[in-house]
A and B are shown apart, each in its own frame.
Chain A
């Protein structure tokens, strides 16, 4: 498959990239790792006139903890994230996500910013970012703004980012004592999109009560969603399978799966419920073992 004719530029700075996006608005499309965009261009499902490759823009791939956040640069690859010492040490839920995306070559090149901006309805990062109440950092010529993940994923392949903005990073609230996260995905085979995927974050207080949670679900709706009904079901409960199953039912009830090669609607709903339970079990183990 041969892409349609296109033009290509490789700006050397963020300012230059932003200027090109403004000058060529409606024609330009940002290129990061390319492992989502180039297949679409080859299939001619996307036909941008101009690709703006971010590979030479410096400073977009750092991964660091600040006082209140884990900040992941947009151009950090899934592999960079999976191998990051701070993430390996403190964010096992993120390790779950990064290690299960695509296959090794995809993880070598695909980036978190590219994946999030692409907003495939079955992609993995959105589920976790919704669960974690992350924010998406977008830079335009007028400055920077942070969009909560819960307002970012608008529809299938559609986000709140403007065509003249560059997604520069992701801010995930810094993990505190008693907090744990996990991601559980069902896929038919390596590299397939998720049949369903559920990310869970729980916060458990010293008395052993769930005082906060986040549940993000992917693959079973037009866009990944936060299962707020499941979060309500968990509030104030003792962690355990009774509470987890109620949350799983609530998360599944919010799904809107379609029947396709990955399974019928009822099956997908059942999988959302089960994956929610499994993610909550693992997140709880991690929360109880983490003292900050």
Chain B
């Protein structure tokens, strides 16, 4: 079977490869690009451990062919931290004990990041609905919801911070 050339942007970096058309996006990320932060859980589109962003939309990368994603911008868990500084969602999962074994965490964080982009101030019910395609078998979800809410507060505070700073400058 012939291969096809795929070129895509992963966490801001242009990447390319020659792949069999049957290769799944999650295997392109993990096995070809070495980005093993994205996990394969159920491999049947149920558990969400493989969630990444494709052109800004959260997707289960076990249910997308690599060739389908050619030309797209992909964001994975490896693209979340800023150097040594964790993304607010990563920090919040740490602070709130939003994980035990950690297997679901990359998918949970990517799905939560998408959710907060759509809805920066979700209710607890909206968080639960937003991560309903992601399964965690350890935590019972309570601390995951707390973590997403902590991050929601931080992200919206950091967005309003420059405005507050500008107001202070104006006042002085």
Residues of A within 8 A of B129 (CB): 104
Cβ-Cβ contact count across A and B, 8 Å cutoff: 81
Bound-complex Cα distance A1 to B45 (A): 11
Is B133 touching A103 in the complex (CB atoms < 8 A)?
yes
Known contacts A105-B51, A105-B59, A106-B133, A4 near B22 by CB under 8 Å: yes
Q: Cα distance A109–B57 when bound, in Å?
A: 8
User: Which residues of chain A are within 8 angstroms of B67 by Cβ–Cβ distance?
Assistant: 8, 10, 53
Chain B interface size range: 20 to 34
Tell me how many residues of A have a C-beta within 8 Å of chain B. Answer: 27
Query: What 1/0 flags go to B98-141 for Cβ under 8 Å of A?
Result: 00000000000001001100000000000001111100000000
Q: Does B44 contact A (CB under 8 A)?
A: yes
A8 to B21, CA, bound (A): 6
> Does A38 contact B111, Cβ atoms closer than 8 Å?
no
Cβ-neighbour of B43 out of A1, A8, A104 (below 8 A)? A1
Does B150 interact with chain A (Cβ within 8 Å)?
A: no
Q: For A7, give the chain B residue with the smallest CB separation.
A: B21
Q: How far is the CB of A47 from chain B (nearest CB, A)?
A: 10
* Residue from B22, B48, B58, B63 in contact with A34 in the complex, judged by beta carbons closer than 8 Å: B63
Given contacts A8-B21, A51-B21, A105-B59, contact A35 B45 (CB under 8 A): yes
The answer to whether A2 and B63 have CB atoms under 8 Å apart is: no
16 contacts between A and B (CB under 8 A): A1-B43, A5-B22, A7-B2, A8-B21, A8-B68, A31-B68, A35-B63, A39-B45, A55-B68, A102-B133, A104-B132, A106-B45, A106-B60, A108-B57, A109-B64, A190-B132
